Structure 1
Amino acid sequence: MAIQWFPGHMHLTQKAIAERVKDTDVVIELLDARLPASSANPMLSQLTSSRPTLKVLNKQDLADPARTAQWLAHFNAQPATRAIGLDASQSTPAQQLVKACHELAPNRGGLAKPMRVLICGIPNVGKSTLINTLTGSKKAKTGDEAGITKLEQRITLTDDFYLYDTPGMLWPRIIVAKSGYNLAASGAIGRNAFDDEEVALELLAYLKTHYPAAVATRFKLDMTAHDIAAMKDEDLLEAIARKRGAILGKGRVNLQKASEIVMHEFRAGNFGRITLETPEEFAQWLAAGQQLDAERQMKKAARGNKRGGAGGAPEADVPSESS
């Protein structure tokens, strides 16, 4: 199942960012350190390509430190880009943002040329928490769900440093299937846009391959890491359901409840420090997604040509494939 979620207010956010970036010196894109590329908005890259960018891997305290180092090196190798890791709840590290912005735009500063920074990111990535940390007050609403911030806010950090906060924004078509699952698992996508069990199974498939000991430890499963890695995804979810008491009548397991438990444990960081992708993995996922999308577009174009027919007479209607 392809996961997509693009509420109406995100379209307005897209237009607002396109207008705001004209008067912006630096763009901060807040990423989830547990899924850095999946949480990087390709639409945002297009909208802000003319401005230097600071990529902030937020929630790094929940992410695999070795993989965070890989991602920082990956982003820092890109032109006009800096990347830092951050835990938005920590006040002292948060001040790194101000310093990094001045390094990216050294000619800005002072009352005559105040620094104008646009901060963007997907829903539920921690922007509001970070802003409240930076300002030392609760200027931005926070919550563990997608879509809390709905309007742009201007925040004055110092007399010559203006921060513009925008609502979290995804993109209309997520062509990397794995990204959709990772975003859903992290809480970036509204609950009505995906099937809990399907997302939980995808999450477990990755965890049992890369972090099997963490799964065994968290759910107190009497199995070795090798046993966990060898299990079928469905069997592992059932074992978790029984261990956590997610049982229906006559001993049947409640897979819906078990799926919710698995996602909650990941979002809360209860598995330990986990990262769901590496730069190399994402490059493979992206290439596969782009190829599949190209094939999909070719089929759609072929259908359009066939419907037109000779002399413009359309043939029998054929259901169009989602793109």
Structure 2
Amino acid sequence: MSINWFPGHMAKTRRQIKENLKLVDAVIEIRDARIVKSSANPDIEDICQNKPRIILLNKSDLSEEKVTKQWVKELSNEHTKVLSVNCLKGLGLKNIKPALDEMLKEKHDNLRSKGVVNIVTRVMVVGIPNVGKSTFINKLAKNNIAKTGDKPGVTRNKQWIKTKIGIELMDTPGVLWPKFEDETVGLDLAFTGAIKDEIMDIEDLALKLIETLQINYPERLKERYKLPELSESALENMDNIGKKRGAVIARGNIDYNRVAVMLLDEFRGGKLGNISLEKPEK
């Protein structure tokens, strides 16, 4: 299943990030806690280099807590702090200001020695589409300045947003890289909604998700869809899910589109339980 999506505005965003990096003190990169590696744009790593960075593992309420803790330990280093958060509920966001202050202590001490009293920290917010950047900004700013949506590609232009805690945020559109060398990365992004469903074969995508879940989380599938047993065939499991949910059309055929939409919606909404599609040891 080939996945390749790189709209023109994303190439423009990559240029913007490079050009505007000198305007900020630090970078906040938002990733999906369920697919920590797949939701990391390698371009961001290269572009930001040694700029102080905070990685927010968003939607951590949908991932396995023990796996997310492993990722926090794995990704933390001298220049990078990693926080587990839920941007929608605001969980974990109170730790951002102290983390920034600690990382920028030398710079802030230098400014205070020159008589600067009200220090404003300017931060660039980056991440792939639909990972929660606008939701994070709105929560931190306590308003709805940044546009939000449950579809990728909502934010298109650079925006500056002020907060009441001495942080100014530069919002940027979500940016993916031009080509996914690993098909698994593309699938993980598609499973979680980072890639538009409209450009996907949604029935094939749902079948791939069943293949993944029946290997890694078989009990979740059985429990959610009341299946006594799972078949080795993902298609047969999809048929049985369709029958259990009444997605049957003329002559007993399965309405695969209906099953696909339902399955993806329920997975993305956490109704199959806490799932981490990637673990550090992999």
* TM-score between both structures, scaled by the size of structure 2: 0.92
Which residue in the other structure is 2:79 paired with? 80
How far the C-alpha of 1:107 sits from its partner, in A, is 3.0
Q: Matches of 1:40 and 1:93 in 2, distance apart?
A: 20
Structure 2 unaligned segments of length 5 or more: list them.
109-115
Q: CA shift at 1:62, angstroms?
A: 0.8
Structure 1 position 206 matched with structure 2 position 206: no
Aligned CA RMSD, in angstroms, stands at 1.7
* Partner in structure 1 of residue 40 of structure 2: 40
Paired with 1:155 and 1:264, the residues of 2 have a C-alpha distance of 31
Output the CA distance in 2 between the equivalents of 1:159 and 1:236: 51
2:281 is matched with which residue? Answer: 280
Q: Which has the larger radius of gyration?
A: 1
The verdict on how the C-alpha distance between 1:111 and 1:245 changes in structure 2, with shifts beyond 3 A counting, is: farther
- Counterpart in 2 of 1:103? 102
Alignment of 1:11 onto 2:11:
yes
1:64 maps onto 2:74 in alignment: no
Conservation of the 8 A alpha-carbon contact between 1:86 and 1:93: yes
User: In the alignment, residue 2 of structure 2 is paired with which amino acid?
Assistant: A
Identity among equivalent pairs (%): 36
Q: Which amino acid aligns with 1:185?
A: F
Corresponding residue for residue 111 of structure 2? none
3-state SS, counterpart of residue 265 of structure 1: helix
Query: Equivalent of 1:153, from 159, 166, 171?
Result: 159
Counterpart residue number, 2:174 = 168
Shift of 1:42: 0.4
d(CA) in 2 for partners of 1:46, 1:143: 28
Query: Hey, what does 1:265 align to over in structure 2?
Result: 266
Tell me: CA distance 1:214–1:159, structure 2 relative to 1, closer, same or farther (3 Å): closer
Structure 2 distance, partners of 1:92, 1:172, is 32
Three-state SS of the structure 1 residue aligned to 2:242 is: helix
| Total equivalences in the alignment | 275
TM-score by length of 1: 0.81
Correspondent of 2:150 among 135, 141, 144: 144
Quote the residue 1:287 is aligned against: none
Deviation track 1:67-102 (CA, whole Å, cap 9, x = no partner) reads: 1111111111x4411111001123362121122122
1:112/1:135 Cα in 2 relative to 1: closer, same or farther (>3 Å)? closer
Asked if the contact 2:83/2:92 (under 8 Å) is kept, the reply is: no
1:51 matches 2:57? no
Q: Is the 8 A contact 1:131 1:140 kept in 2?
A: yes
Per-residue deviation, 1:243? 1.3
The 1:2–1:238 alpha-carbon spacing in structure 2 relative to 1, beyond 3 Å, is same
Match of 2:135 among 119, 126, 129: 129
Counterpart of 1:279 in 2: which secondary structure? coil
1: CA distance, partners of 2:101 / 2:29: 16
Matched to 2:177, the amino acid is W
| Pair 1:91-2:93 in alignment | no
Specify which structure has the higher proportion of helix.
1
Partner of 2:112: none
Contact residue 141 and residue 164 of structure 2 kept, 8 A:
no
Tell me the CA shift for residue 163 of structure 1.
1.0
* One-letter code aligned to 1:67: V
**Native 8 Å contact 1:108 1:114 kept in 2:** no
Structure 2 Cα separation of the partners of residues 10 and 111 of structure 1:
38
Partner residue in 1 for 2:238: 237
Deviation (angstroms), 1:111: 5.4
Match of 2:195 among 183, 189, 193: 189
Structure 1 portions without partners, runs of 5+: 282-323
Q: Tell me the SS of whatever aligns to 2:56.
A: strand
Whether the aligned pair in 2 keeps the contact of 1:26 and 1:51 (CA below 8 Å) is: yes
User: Do the aligned partners of residues 159 and 264 (structure 1) sit closer, same or farther apart at CA in structure 2, a change above 3 Å counting?
Assistant: closer
